Amino acid sequence: MIQLPAPVVNFHLGGKQPKRVRVMAKTELKTDTANWVLRAAAILGVLYGFGFLLMPYSMFQLSGDPGVPTNPGWVRWAGGFVLGIAIGPWLASEGWIKEQPFIAGLAAAFTLSGLALLYGVVSGEYAGEAWFICMPIVILAVLAPTMWWLATK
């Protein structure tokens, strides 16, 4: 954490001489684990969001799943939603919103998403390319516990 030099602030109390008080600056540069994880989550969200929003057919073809619908345009809304949600982690990493509640929400979302994908593989619902579903499962398996750990800090 980098802190800027404290400015001097004058306070006038009635007719008395002004007191000089040093005030710490509120600006700080964060480079901790939480920011790196939040930014990684934001970047992954943008990648998946843009993929499903702008080219859902290509995303489905990458999966190689024989159950892919003939018109995957219905999933564009999910791409827009994921893209919109991806803005939150970036804002939290920049300090625009409080990190703690947002991190807890992301931890729950990543846990549930990872478990849902894992269930799809274990139950046999997913019949596509293994890499296409294993990659997000592994990413979420790393991000979810990291977010839970950060939420408890």
Q: Residue 53 — very low, low, confident or very high, per pLDDT cuts 50/70/90? A: confident
Q: Residue 145 — very low, low, confident or very high, per pLDDT cuts 50/70/90? A: very high
Between CA 110 and CA 51 the distance in angstroms is: 19
Q: Residue 1 — very low, low, confident or very high, per pLDDT cuts 50/70/90? A: very low
Q: How many domains does the chain have?
A: 1
User: What's the pLDDT score for residue 28?
Assistant: 44
pTM confidence score? 0.58
Q: Is residue 67 part of a domain?
A: yes
Question: Per mean pLDDT, which of 7-16, 25-34, 108-117 is the most reliable?
Answer: 108-117
User: What's the pLDDT score for residue 78?
Assistant: 82
5 Cβ neighbours under 8 A, 6+ residues apart: 25
Place of tokens 């404290």: 6
- Which run of H or of E encompasses 9? strand 8-11
Question: What residues pair up with 8 in beta bridges, in sequence order?
Answer: 22
Q: Is residue 81 part of a domain?
A: yes
Q: Is residue 120 part of a domain?
A: yes
Q: State mean pLDDT over 82-108.
A: 80
Q: Residue 100 — very low, low, confident or very high, per pLDDT cuts 50/70/90? A: confident
Q: Residue 126 — very low, low, confident or very high, per pLDDT cuts 50/70/90? A: confident
Between CA 137 and CA 131 the distance in angstroms is: 10
Residue 67 pLDDT > 70: yes
SS3 11: strand
Q: Is residue 105 part of a domain?
A: yes
Q: Is residue 124 part of a domain?
A: yes
Q: What is the 3-state secondary structure (H, E, C) of 19-84?
A: EEEECCCCCEECCCHHHHHHHHHHHHHHHHHHHHHHCHHHHHHHHCCCCCCCCHHHHHHHHHHHHH
Tokens of 28: 């700080």
Residue 23 pLDDT > 50: no
Structural domain that includes position 144: 31-152
**What CA–CA distances, in Å, run from 129 to 64, 113, 138?**
5, 18, 15
